[in-house]
Structure 1
Amino acid sequence: MAVRVLVASRNAKKLNELRRILDEAGVAGIELVSLNEVPPYAEAPETGVTFEENAVAKARDGALATGMPCVADDSGIEVDALNGMPGILSARWAGKHGDDAANNALLLAQLADVPDERRGARFVSTCALVRPDGTTTVVRGEWPGTIARAPHGEGGFGYDPLFLPEGATTSAATLTPAEKDAASHRGRALTQLLPTLAALT
Protein backbone atom coordinates (compact mmCIF):
# COMPACT_ATOMS: atom_id res chain seq x y z
CA MET A 1 0.00 0.00 0.00
CA ALA A 2 1.55 3.28 -1.12
CA VAL A 3 1.97 6.12 1.35
CA ARG A 4 0.00 9.15 0.15
CA VAL A 5 2.00 12.37 0.30
CA LEU A 6 0.37 15.72 -0.39
CA VAL A 7 2.29 18.15 -2.57
CA ALA A 8 1.04 21.62 -1.61
CA SER A 9 0.79 22.85 -5.18
CA ARG A 10 -1.61 22.92 -8.11
CA ASN A 11 1.30 23.23 -10.52
CA ALA A 12 1.40 20.00 -12.56
CA LYS A 13 5.00 20.73 -13.61
CA LYS A 14 6.16 20.76 -9.97
CA LEU A 15 4.32 17.49 -9.27
CA ASN A 16 5.84 15.81 -12.33
CA GLU A 17 9.29 17.06 -11.34
CA LEU A 18 9.05 15.42 -7.90
CA ARG A 19 7.61 12.26 -9.46
CA ARG A 20 10.56 12.03 -11.90
CA ILE A 21 13.09 12.58 -9.11
CA LEU A 22 11.51 9.85 -6.96
CA ASP A 23 11.50 7.45 -9.93
CA GLU A 24 15.08 8.29 -10.85
CA ALA A 25 16.20 7.59 -7.27
CA GLY A 26 14.24 4.33 -7.16
CA VAL A 27 12.01 5.47 -4.28
CA ALA A 28 8.82 3.39 -4.54
CA GLY A 29 5.71 3.18 -2.40
CA ILE A 30 4.81 6.89 -2.48
CA GLU A 31 1.70 8.24 -4.16
CA LEU A 32 1.91 11.98 -4.75
CA VAL A 33 -1.36 13.89 -4.38
CA SER A 34 -1.86 17.49 -5.53
CA LEU A 35 -4.08 20.17 -3.99
CA ASN A 36 -6.52 19.56 -6.85
CA GLU A 37 -7.18 16.05 -5.48
CA VAL A 38 -8.09 16.93 -1.88
CA PRO A 39 -11.04 18.89 -0.43
CA PRO A 40 -10.23 22.62 -0.33
CA TYR A 41 -8.87 23.91 2.98
CA ALA A 42 -7.89 27.33 4.26
CA GLU A 43 -4.38 28.06 3.02
CA ALA A 44 -2.57 30.70 5.05
CA PRO A 45 -1.33 33.67 2.99
CA GLU A 46 2.40 33.68 2.24
CA THR A 47 3.49 36.21 4.81
CA GLY A 48 6.92 34.76 5.65
CA VAL A 49 9.98 36.90 4.99
CA THR A 50 12.07 33.90 3.86
CA PHE A 51 11.57 30.98 1.49
CA GLU A 52 11.91 28.68 4.53
CA GLU A 53 9.07 30.31 6.48
CA ASN A 54 6.69 30.16 3.51
CA ALA A 55 7.50 26.53 2.67
CA VAL A 56 7.03 25.36 6.27
CA ALA A 57 3.73 27.27 6.63
CA LYS A 58 2.34 25.72 3.42
CA ALA A 59 3.45 22.20 4.40
CA ARG A 60 2.10 22.55 7.95
CA ASP A 61 -1.32 23.71 6.66
CA GLY A 62 -1.49 20.77 4.27
CA ALA A 63 -0.51 18.16 6.85
CA LEU A 64 -2.98 19.51 9.42
CA ALA A 65 -5.86 19.73 6.94
CA THR A 66 -5.43 16.30 5.34
CA GLY A 67 -3.63 14.13 7.88
CA MET A 68 -1.07 13.30 5.15
CA PRO A 69 2.64 14.10 5.19
CA CYS A 70 2.91 17.26 3.10
CA VAL A 71 5.71 18.57 0.90
CA ALA A 72 5.72 22.28 0.00
CA ASP A 73 8.29 24.39 -1.74
CA ASP A 74 8.85 28.09 -1.95
CA SER A 75 11.19 29.19 -4.65
CA GLY A 76 12.31 32.19 -6.61
CA ILE A 77 15.24 34.00 -8.12
CA GLU A 78 17.73 36.22 -6.31
CA VAL A 79 19.53 38.80 -8.46
CA ASP A 80 22.79 40.24 -7.13
CA ALA A 81 22.34 43.68 -8.72
CA LEU A 82 18.90 43.95 -7.05
CA ASN A 83 20.25 43.03 -3.59
CA GLY A 84 18.73 39.55 -3.76
CA MET A 85 15.33 40.61 -5.08
CA PRO A 86 12.81 39.51 -6.41
CA GLY A 87 13.41 36.67 -3.91
CA ILE A 88 10.19 35.60 -2.23
CA LEU A 89 8.30 38.07 -4.45
CA SER A 90 9.45 36.35 -7.67
CA ALA A 91 6.03 35.01 -8.73
CA ARG A 92 4.38 38.42 -8.34
CA TRP A 93 7.28 40.75 -9.12
CA ALA A 94 5.31 42.69 -11.74
CA GLY A 95 2.21 42.87 -9.53
CA LYS A 96 0.02 39.98 -10.68
CA HIS A 97 0.80 36.49 -9.37
CA GLY A 98 2.17 34.11 -11.99
CA ASP A 99 2.39 36.52 -14.95
CA ASP A 100 5.70 35.15 -16.25
CA ALA A 101 5.92 37.46 -19.29
CA ALA A 102 5.37 40.61 -17.21
CA ASN A 103 7.80 39.44 -14.50
CA ASN A 104 10.50 38.74 -17.09
CA ALA A 105 9.92 42.07 -18.86
CA LEU A 106 10.18 43.99 -15.58
CA LEU A 107 13.38 42.19 -14.56
CA LEU A 108 14.99 42.90 -17.94
CA ALA A 109 14.01 46.59 -17.68
CA GLN A 110 15.48 46.83 -14.16
CA LEU A 111 18.76 45.31 -15.36
CA ALA A 112 18.95 47.21 -18.67
CA ASP A 113 21.99 49.27 -17.62
CA VAL A 114 23.72 46.52 -15.61
CA PRO A 115 26.91 45.22 -17.30
CA ASP A 116 27.31 41.50 -18.01
CA GLU A 117 29.80 40.92 -15.19
CA ARG A 118 27.30 42.18 -12.60
CA ARG A 119 24.28 40.13 -13.75
CA GLY A 120 24.87 37.25 -11.32
CA ALA A 121 21.80 35.48 -9.97
CA ARG A 122 20.66 32.22 -8.43
CA PHE A 123 17.46 30.25 -8.35
CA VAL A 124 16.61 29.17 -4.79
CA SER A 125 14.21 26.42 -3.72
CA THR A 126 13.36 25.60 -0.13
CA CYS A 127 11.37 22.40 0.38
CA ALA A 128 9.65 21.48 3.64
CA LEU A 129 8.19 18.11 4.58
CA VAL A 130 5.81 18.21 7.54
CA ARG A 131 4.32 15.01 8.95
CA PRO A 132 0.90 14.96 10.62
CA ASP A 133 2.65 14.76 14.04
CA GLY A 134 4.40 18.06 13.27
CA THR A 135 7.86 16.61 12.55
CA THR A 136 9.44 19.02 10.07
CA THR A 137 12.34 18.66 7.62
CA VAL A 138 13.58 21.66 5.64
CA VAL A 139 16.14 21.62 2.81
CA ARG A 140 17.47 24.30 0.44
CA GLY A 141 18.84 24.04 -3.08
CA GLU A 142 20.56 26.78 -5.09
CA TRP A 143 21.32 26.98 -8.83
CA PRO A 144 23.84 29.72 -9.67
CA GLY A 145 23.98 31.57 -12.98
CA THR A 146 23.44 34.93 -14.66
CA ILE A 147 20.57 36.90 -16.20
CA ALA A 148 20.62 37.07 -20.01
CA ARG A 149 19.78 40.23 -21.97
CA ALA A 150 16.79 38.65 -23.76
CA PRO A 151 14.58 35.60 -23.23
CA HIS A 152 15.58 32.40 -25.03
CA GLY A 153 13.95 28.97 -25.27
CA GLU A 154 10.40 27.65 -25.12
CA GLY A 155 10.59 25.21 -22.19
CA GLY A 156 10.40 25.61 -18.44
CA PHE A 157 8.43 28.35 -16.72
CA GLY A 158 8.94 31.46 -14.61
CA TYR A 159 12.32 33.09 -15.21
CA ASP A 160 13.81 30.09 -17.05
CA PRO A 161 14.06 31.92 -20.43
CA LEU A 162 16.27 34.61 -18.84
CA PHE A 163 18.43 32.37 -16.63
CA LEU A 164 21.81 31.18 -17.91
CA PRO A 165 23.02 28.43 -15.56
CA GLU A 166 26.67 28.67 -14.51
CA GLY A 167 28.87 27.26 -17.27
CA ALA A 168 26.02 27.09 -19.80
CA THR A 169 25.64 29.01 -23.06
CA THR A 170 21.86 28.69 -23.36
CA SER A 171 19.00 29.41 -20.97
CA ALA A 172 17.28 27.05 -18.54
CA ALA A 173 14.27 27.15 -20.90
CA THR A 174 16.26 25.14 -23.49
CA LEU A 175 16.97 22.19 -21.16
CA THR A 176 15.08 18.90 -21.31
CA PRO A 177 13.08 18.01 -18.17
CA ALA A 178 15.75 15.42 -17.22
CA GLU A 179 18.60 17.92 -17.69
CA LYS A 180 16.74 20.48 -15.60
CA ASP A 181 15.99 17.98 -12.78
CA ALA A 182 19.68 17.10 -12.59
CA ALA A 183 20.81 20.71 -12.25
CA SER A 184 17.97 22.84 -10.94
CA HIS A 185 17.48 24.40 -7.52
CA ARG A 186 14.32 22.35 -6.94
CA GLY A 187 16.04 19.19 -8.14
CA ARG A 188 18.90 19.84 -5.69
CA ALA A 189 16.50 20.51 -2.81
CA LEU A 190 14.25 17.52 -3.54
CA THR A 191 17.27 15.22 -3.82
CA GLN A 192 18.21 16.24 -0.25
CA LEU A 193 14.64 15.42 0.80
CA LEU A 194 14.72 11.89 -0.68
CA PRO A 195 15.97 10.08 2.47
CA THR A 196 13.16 11.61 4.56
CA LEU A 197 10.56 10.72 1.90
CA ALA A 198 11.92 7.18 1.59
CA ALA A 199 11.66 6.80 5.38
CA LEU A 200 7.89 7.37 5.15
CA THR A 201 7.52 4.02 3.38
Structure 2
Amino acid sequence: MIFQLVFASPNKQVFCGSIAKWYKTEGERVSYGELILDIKIERVRFRPDRPLQQATEILSQLSSSNSLKTLRASRETLYHNNIDLLLQIVSADVGFLRQICAKQSEYRDVGAVLAVFTTEANEPLDLSQPDWSQASKFRIVPNIISNDADSDIEEIESEVASLGSWLAEIQTDLERSRHRLSEIQANLNLFKFDAK
Protein backbone atom coordinates (compact mmCIF):
# COMPACT_ATOMS: atom_id res chain seq x y z
CA MET A 1 0.00 0.00 0.00
CA ILE A 2 1.21 3.52 -0.83
CA PHE A 3 1.25 6.30 1.78
CA GLN A 4 2.05 10.00 1.44
CA LEU A 5 3.75 12.01 4.15
CA VAL A 6 2.07 15.43 4.06
CA PHE A 7 3.37 18.64 5.66
CA ALA A 8 0.71 19.05 8.35
CA SER A 9 0.41 22.40 10.12
CA PRO A 10 0.85 22.17 13.92
CA ASN A 11 -1.17 25.41 14.30
CA LYS A 12 -3.01 28.00 12.21
CA GLN A 13 -0.03 30.37 11.98
CA VAL A 14 2.25 27.93 10.11
CA PHE A 15 1.94 28.28 6.33
CA CYS A 16 5.27 26.99 5.04
CA GLY A 17 8.74 25.85 6.04
CA SER A 18 12.02 24.53 4.72
CA ILE A 19 13.36 21.02 5.13
CA ALA A 20 16.15 21.24 7.71
CA LYS A 21 17.22 17.59 7.87
CA TRP A 22 16.13 14.11 6.82
CA TYR A 23 16.94 11.42 9.38
CA LYS A 24 15.94 8.61 7.03
CA THR A 25 17.08 7.84 3.48
CA GLU A 26 15.17 6.34 0.58
CA GLY A 27 14.71 2.59 1.03
CA GLU A 28 15.00 2.70 4.83
CA ARG A 29 12.37 1.18 7.11
CA VAL A 30 10.62 3.60 9.48
CA SER A 31 9.02 2.37 12.71
CA TYR A 32 6.76 3.90 15.34
CA GLY A 33 8.34 6.77 17.25
CA GLU A 34 11.31 7.22 14.92
CA LEU A 35 12.34 10.71 13.91
CA ILE A 36 11.84 11.17 10.14
CA LEU A 37 12.74 14.82 9.43
CA ASP A 38 13.01 18.37 10.76
CA ILE A 39 11.26 21.34 9.16
CA LYS A 40 12.39 24.89 9.94
CA ILE A 41 9.53 27.33 10.35
CA GLU A 42 10.03 30.94 9.21
CA ARG A 43 10.97 33.70 11.65
CA VAL A 44 8.53 36.48 12.50
CA ARG A 45 7.97 38.60 9.39
CA PHE A 46 6.18 41.92 9.00
CA ARG A 47 3.08 41.65 6.85
CA PRO A 48 2.89 44.79 4.66
CA ASP A 49 -0.12 43.31 2.86
CA ARG A 50 -2.36 44.32 5.77
CA PRO A 51 -4.53 47.34 4.87
CA LEU A 52 -4.03 50.73 6.54
CA GLN A 53 -7.52 50.43 7.98
CA GLN A 54 -6.29 47.78 10.41
CA ALA A 55 -3.42 50.04 11.46
CA THR A 56 -5.84 52.88 12.21
CA GLU A 57 -8.05 50.49 14.20
CA ILE A 58 -4.97 49.49 16.21
CA LEU A 59 -4.16 53.16 16.81
CA SER A 60 -7.65 53.88 18.08
CA GLN A 61 -7.41 50.92 20.47
CA LEU A 62 -4.01 52.10 21.68
CA SER A 63 -5.19 55.67 22.21
CA SER A 64 -8.12 54.46 24.32
CA SER A 65 -6.22 51.96 26.47
CA ASN A 66 -2.54 52.56 25.60
CA SER A 67 -1.45 49.25 27.07
CA LEU A 68 1.32 46.85 26.11
CA LYS A 69 -1.27 44.05 26.16
CA THR A 70 -3.23 45.79 23.36
CA LEU A 71 -0.01 46.29 21.41
CA ARG A 72 0.88 42.60 21.71
CA ALA A 73 -2.60 41.56 20.57
CA SER A 74 -2.41 44.04 17.67
CA ARG A 75 1.01 42.70 16.70
CA GLU A 76 -0.57 39.42 15.59
CA THR A 77 -2.55 41.18 12.85
CA LEU A 78 0.63 42.67 11.42
CA TYR A 79 3.10 39.84 11.99
CA HIS A 80 3.28 36.10 11.48
CA ASN A 81 2.99 34.36 14.82
CA ASN A 82 5.88 31.87 14.63
CA ILE A 83 9.44 32.60 15.67
CA ASP A 84 12.32 30.45 14.50
CA LEU A 85 10.78 27.10 15.32
CA LEU A 86 11.86 23.62 14.44
CA LEU A 87 9.11 21.14 13.62
CA GLN A 88 10.23 17.56 14.21
CA ILE A 89 8.21 14.94 12.36
CA VAL A 90 8.01 11.64 14.25
CA SER A 91 6.51 8.47 12.78
CA ALA A 92 3.21 7.15 14.11
CA ASP A 93 3.17 4.45 11.43
CA VAL A 94 5.40 1.74 9.96
CA GLY A 95 6.64 1.62 6.39
CA PHE A 96 9.50 2.01 3.93
CA LEU A 97 10.59 5.45 2.76
CA ARG A 98 10.50 5.05 -1.02
CA GLN A 99 10.78 8.61 -2.34
CA ILE A 100 11.75 11.94 -0.80
CA CYS A 101 9.73 14.64 -2.59
CA ALA A 102 11.27 17.63 -0.77
CA LYS A 103 15.04 17.79 -0.52
CA GLN A 104 16.98 19.47 2.27
CA SER A 105 16.71 23.32 2.25
CA GLU A 106 13.68 23.28 -0.08
CA TYR A 107 10.61 25.28 0.91
CA ARG A 108 7.20 23.64 1.00
CA ASP A 109 3.71 24.88 1.82
CA VAL A 110 1.50 23.18 4.36
CA GLY A 111 -0.33 20.34 2.61
CA ALA A 112 2.57 19.51 0.27
CA VAL A 113 3.68 15.90 -0.12
CA LEU A 114 7.12 15.54 1.48
CA ALA A 115 7.70 11.81 0.96
CA VAL A 116 6.13 8.57 -0.24
CA PHE A 117 6.08 5.37 1.84
CA THR A 118 5.02 1.78 1.11
CA THR A 119 4.20 -1.07 3.46
CA GLU A 120 6.64 -3.46 1.73
CA ALA A 121 10.23 -2.73 0.70
CA ASN A 122 9.81 -4.13 -2.84
CA GLU A 123 6.23 -2.98 -3.46
CA PRO A 124 5.77 -1.76 -7.07
CA LEU A 125 5.80 2.02 -7.28
CA ASP A 126 5.58 4.11 -10.47
CA LEU A 127 7.86 7.09 -9.84
CA SER A 128 7.71 8.32 -13.46
CA GLN A 129 4.27 9.94 -13.03
CA PRO A 130 3.77 10.60 -9.33
CA ASP A 131 0.13 11.25 -8.46
CA TRP A 132 -0.17 10.61 -4.76
CA SER A 133 -3.66 12.12 -4.40
CA GLN A 134 -5.23 8.66 -3.95
CA ALA A 135 -2.60 7.49 -1.45
CA SER A 136 -3.42 7.27 2.23
CA LYS A 137 -1.62 9.57 4.65
CA PHE A 138 1.37 8.27 6.57
CA ARG A 139 0.58 8.99 10.22
CA ILE A 140 2.97 11.34 12.00
CA VAL A 141 3.31 13.32 15.20
CA PRO A 142 4.65 16.87 14.72
CA ASN A 143 6.69 18.18 17.66
CA ILE A 144 7.46 21.91 17.85
CA ILE A 145 10.81 22.91 19.32
CA SER A 146 11.99 26.51 19.82
CA ASN A 147 15.63 27.05 18.89
CA ASP A 148 16.47 29.78 21.39
CA ALA A 149 13.74 31.22 23.59
CA ASP A 150 15.88 34.03 25.10
CA SER A 151 16.96 35.45 21.75
CA ASP A 152 13.37 35.07 20.52
CA ILE A 153 12.10 37.21 23.42
CA GLU A 154 14.74 39.88 22.77
CA GLU A 155 13.88 39.89 19.08
CA ILE A 156 10.15 40.20 19.80
CA GLU A 157 10.77 43.09 22.21
CA SER A 158 12.87 44.83 19.55
CA GLU A 159 10.19 44.28 16.93
CA VAL A 160 7.47 45.53 19.31
CA ALA A 161 9.54 48.71 19.81
CA SER A 162 9.91 49.18 16.05
CA LEU A 163 6.19 48.49 15.64
CA GLY A 164 5.51 51.20 18.24
CA SER A 165 7.54 53.77 16.27
CA TRP A 166 5.84 52.69 13.04
CA LEU A 167 2.44 53.12 14.71
CA ALA A 168 3.51 56.58 15.97
CA GLU A 169 4.31 57.59 12.37
CA ILE A 170 0.91 56.37 11.24
CA GLN A 171 -0.74 58.26 14.10
CA THR A 172 1.02 61.47 13.00
CA ASP A 173 -0.15 60.93 9.42
CA LEU A 174 -3.65 60.19 10.70
CA GLU A 175 -3.69 63.45 12.71
CA ARG A 176 -2.58 65.38 9.60
CA SER A 177 -5.34 63.70 7.60
CA ARG A 178 -7.93 64.56 10.26
CA HIS A 179 -6.75 68.17 10.27
CA ARG A 180 -6.94 68.33 6.47
CA LEU A 181 -10.41 66.75 6.56
CA SER A 182 -11.55 69.42 9.05
CA GLU A 183 -10.29 72.12 6.68
CA ILE A 184 -12.13 70.52 3.76
CA GLN A 185 -15.34 70.26 5.81
CA ALA A 186 -15.06 73.92 6.86
CA ASN A 187 -14.59 74.94 3.23
CA LEU A 188 -17.50 72.76 2.21
CA ASN A 189 -19.72 74.39 4.87
CA LEU A 190 -18.71 77.85 3.54
CA PHE A 191 -19.55 76.72 0.04
CA LYS A 192 -22.98 75.47 1.18
CA PHE A 193 -23.59 78.78 3.01
CA ASP A 194 -22.65 80.81 -0.09
CA ALA A 195 -24.92 78.63 -2.28
CA LYS A 196 -28.00 79.50 -0.17
Shared fold, TM over 0.5: no
Q: Higher relative contact order at CA 8 Å, sep ≥6: structure 1 or structure 2?
A: 2
The structure that has the greater radius of gyration is 2
Range of TM-score over shorter length: under 0.3
TM-score by length of 1: 0.19
